[in-house]
Amino acid sequence: MTGRYILIGGTGFFGAALARELRARGLAVVTLARGSRGARQQPDVCVDVVHEPERLSSVFEPGDSVVYLAGLSPLKRPVGGRRRYREVHLTGLRAVLKAAESRGLLRFVQVSALGVRPGDGSAYGETKARATEMLRAAAAGAKASGQAMVVEPSVLFGEGSEIIRALKLASRLPLVPLPQIAAQIRPIHVADAARRLAEVLTAKRLPERLELTGPQLLTFHQLAAAYLEPRGTRMVLLPRLLTRILVRVASWVKLPGAPTELEAMLALDNAGSPPPRPQELIVFSKWASVRDSE
């Protein structure tokens, strides 16, 4: 597939990995993000898609493929709360879709998450699910040659990921209490996820949906144990009743940075299906072999 790849949110954790993968294949990539002073990586184009949508049309060119990776953490409440989720996941996507349509762009990808659905009780899940509905409605109204794909990753890990940062902090302690969480996941290394997505993006036709999952089906307790125990940190599982109480209390806290609607988020089914070619992922995605450098 020729043409440029426009990555909205291309300097984030997943966006930066995808940009590296596409460029390694000799493809033209343009990253768009707000940018900020002191950031580890600046985008090719600094633009706030929520507050500066009029600038998008001048960036897009016929033949471009657009990937909307802009998103907020599902676990930490942003400044602005639920309103901010709506801005980033819905208002920004709407502006990008409108600009893409005005420039005749026919390939559009939205990065969502496994298990999100309308009415799940979390601002993250609800807005991600509504964004998928918005994309599919736009695709249905576009020209017959238009293509749209929704990407649904399980938990992404790797250097700079939230899960690795949290576990690195926990590994400094001799003992860590953990809540009992029944939900299962298939963690996938961000490099694996970027490579798999790049393969699909560069194909002639896009599927309507793409799951990004790793080879291991784990509970959150198993995931934590695989990282912490080799590093000398013991774990103790909290009683289920205490877990429910703590999760509910955490979900009620409305301060920025606090867990956001944790009760609803932890109920999501984030496992999906096994990857189609797991042997290609083992080198990166064997969760227990995550290096200390990450």
Q: Can you give the residue ranges of every domain in the chain?
A: 5-157+187-214
Tens-place pLDDT, residues 205-258: 999 999 999 999 988 888 888 889 889 999 998 888 887 788 777 777 777 776
Burial of 66 (0-12, 13-18, 19+ CB in 10 A): buried
How far is C-alpha 158 from the chain's CA centre?
13
Instruction: Return the closest-CA partner of residue 154 out of 7, 283, 274, 282.
Output: 274
Distances (CA, A) of 120 to 26, 76, 124, 243, 265: 41, 17, 9, 20, 8
- Superfamily name with CATH number, domain 5-157+187-214: NAD(P)-binding Rossmann-like Domain (3.40.50.720)
pTM of the full structure:
0.90
* Band (23; pLDDT cuts 50, 70, 90): very high
Residue 144 has pLDDT above 60, yes or no: no
Tens-place pLDDT, residues 267-292: 677 889 999 888 888 777 776 555 44
